[in-house]
Structure 1
Amino acid sequence: MPELPEVETVRRGLQPFMEGARIEKVQQNRADLRFPFPENLADKITGKRIEALGRRAKYLTIHLEDDQTLISHLGMSGSYRIESESAENLPGQFIHERSKKSAHDHLIFSLMNDEGQKTNIIYNDPRRFGFLVLAQTSRLDEHPFLEKLGLEPTGNLLSGEWMDQAFAGKKAPLKAALLDQSLIAGLGNIYVCEAMWRTGLSPLRSAGSVTTQGGADPAVADRLATHIREVIADAIAAGGSSLRDYRQADGELGYFQHSFSVYGREGEPCRREGCNGTITRITQSGRSTFWCESCQH
């Protein structure tokens, strides 16, 4: 499933083509994905101007005029494809073509910008685990999908001081706490593994053990918060991690998977300088955790 950096990469890829454009036509090729499409969706949004593209955790938010927002989740295999005369000029090295089977093109937005340029934005989803719902912009934070989300891991609000308070007294494993979306929104399995490795923290230790209440030096929480922000920033800068079905909006693959230090490297040597350990994979709450027992404590 695409994580925060992948969704942010999609947002940035779509932004030049969608922001400021007007929806001329909506072609809906099926009644539902994971959930039914909003009733009379085409009638409700045709003619509307797209004011902004945003992201909250792993959700893409398409803000329209008249206090309407489309909330989009990519699920396991959802992706957006741009069909525009200028789309071929997007930067980046092309590697592999994404599947463009029309049978999986479930929603097509036909757009026109102020310069008269026409663009089709196509939502393709072979497994149909993604979804798109319509919400009221002014009450977006109250929407059931968004209201319980925690702090975004991309800004300075995610600090050692905040983490020291948020994790105080928590007996759950550190990895479980980091994946708790009500605490930190959008932080997923891949980047939790990478951030814990960078910080040298075991995924098995309790979340409370990294806080001053748990006896840790304040620098521990500071380093963890810093490495979380850095690993997310690195992944966004590299274009996201193209695992399985994920692709950038313009059809290019992301590159961050080439610099994974632990994720997917079971049995391989640890990349930390001076460490002779080997990467191990364990299962926590049904998810794979990759870590080095020699240097993560």
Structure 2
Amino acid sequence: MPELPEVETTRRGIAPFVLEQTVADLVVRQPALRWPVPAELPALVRGQRVRALERRGKYLLLRLEAGTLIVHLGMSGSLRVCDPRQPPRKHDHFDLLFDAAVALRFHDPRRFGCLLWTDSDPHDHPLLAELGIEPLAPEFTGAYLYAATRGRAAAVKLCLMDHKLVVGVGNIYASESLFRAGIDPRRAARRVGEARYERLAGAVREVLEQALAAGGTTLRDFVNERGNPGYFKQTLAVYDRAGEPCRVCGTAIRTVRTGQRSTFFCPQCQH
């Protein structure tokens, strides 16, 4: 699933093509995404200029003159800049057209993504209203994590992936961050001290920034706005490396199930 680095990579990549551009049309080929694309949406956005392009958690916000398009890439989605005359592929579900040469084309084999509209503040939308802190924001600190996890018996990895606590840190980056901080992902969140949370907050920031520099992580589906994969996979320390030697100590990487998700860790380096 695209996480914060993949969504931010997409935002940065498409921004030069859409900012201050006028929407010529919206062509919806498959409205049955995670939530139905509103039938009136093409008429609503046609002729509107894109004033800003933002990211909140894993959501992209295209702020138009009369409202905001809310886009989520789902589990397998991508937004690509392409020539609208290029024939659509099987899972190309909509095109946001800007002129004769530029379209944003949404590709999503599993159809878990979304395209929604609000004419109010998008941060008040039900999908965004309860989102937690941004992990690259200055206020994301060890003190914040420590205070937010007092009394929580859930595994620290699950808390790090809780979008009401912190947004955009999914399975890949939670595993990698906990490895860098030397914390066992199975440890109860309330049993992690503030000093270790300070290391974890720094590790999260470091991992996300390095993933952004590499264009995100492509395990299977993700591509950027030009159709290129992300290259952070080549530097993964634990994720998807079960049975392989730890890059630090040589111990075999283990995998367990935590909250119905595969969790990868080094039993020697993380405790």
TM-score category (smaller protein): over 0.9
- Give me the CA root mean square deviation: 1.6
- Give the direction of change, closer, same or farther, for the CA distance of 1:31–1:224 in structure 2 (3 Å limit): closer
Please list, as runs of the form range in 1=range in 2, the aligned pairs for 1:169-188 lying within 5 A after superposition: 169-188=151-170
Give the SS at the match of 1:121: strand
Please list, as runs of the form range in 1=range in 2, the aligned pairs for 1:54-73 lying within 5 A after superposition: 54-66=54-66, 68-73=67-72
Deviation at 1:110, TM superposition (A): 1.4
Deviation at 1:154, TM superposition (A): 1.2
- What residue is the counterpart of 1:110 in the other structure? 97
TM-score by length of 2: 0.95
- What residue is the counterpart of 1:295 in the other structure? 269
* Cα distance in structure 2, aligned partners of 1:203 and 1:30: 39
* Cα distance in structure 1, aligned partners of 2:240 and 2:4: 18
- What residue is the counterpart of 1:241 in the other structure? 217
Please list, as runs of the form range in 1=range in 2, the aligned pairs for 1:1-297 lying within 5 A after superposition: 1-66=1-66, 68-84=67-83, 101-112=88-99, 118-137=101-120, 139-211=121-193, 218-272=194-248, 275-297=249-271
Contact conserved, 1:276 with 1:294, CA < 8 A, in 2?
no
Deviation at 1:101, TM superposition (A): 5.0
- Give the direction of change, closer, same or farther, for the CA distance of 1:31–1:172 in structure 2 (3 Å limit): closer
Contact conserved, 1:58 with 1:73, CA < 8 A, in 2?
yes
The C-alpha deviation readout for 1:72-95, integer Å capped at 9, x for no partner, is 11112221121259xxxxxxxxxx
* Cα distance in structure 2, aligned partners of 1:34 and 1:161: 36
Q: Which amino acid aligns with 2:228?
A: E
* Cα distance in structure 1, aligned partners of 2:90 and 2:232: 30
* Cα distance in structure 1, aligned partners of 2:206 and 2:114: 29
Contact conserved, 1:155 with 1:229, CA < 8 A, in 2?
no
Structure 1 ranges of 4+ moved more than 6 A: none
Contact conserved, 1:261 with 1:270, CA < 8 A, in 2?
yes
* Cα distance in structure 1, aligned partners of 2:118 and 2:172: 30
* Cα distance in structure 2, aligned partners of 1:265 and 1:276: 12
* Cα distance in structure 1, aligned partners of 2:210 and 2:133: 19
* Cα distance in structure 1, aligned partners of 2:201 and 2:12: 24
% same residue = 43
* Cα distance in structure 1, aligned partners of 2:185 and 2:109: 34
* Cα distance in structure 2, aligned partners of 1:41 and 1:136: 12
* Cα distance in structure 2, aligned partners of 1:144 and 1:223: 32
Aligned length: 269
* Cα distance in structure 2, aligned partners of 1:126 and 1:174: 32
The C-alpha deviation readout for 1:52-91, integer Å capped at 9, x for no partner, is 111111111111112x111111112221121259xxxxxx
Q: Which amino acid aligns with 1:149?
A: L
Give the SS at the match of 1:72: strand
Greater gyration radius? 1
* Cα distance in structure 2, aligned partners of 1:30 and 1:296: 45
Q: Which ranges of structure 2 fall in alignment gaps of 5 or more residues?
A: none
* 171-180 or 42-51, which deviates more: 171-180
The C-alpha deviation readout for 1:150-193, integer Å capped at 9, x for no partner, is 00111221111111211122211111111111001111000000
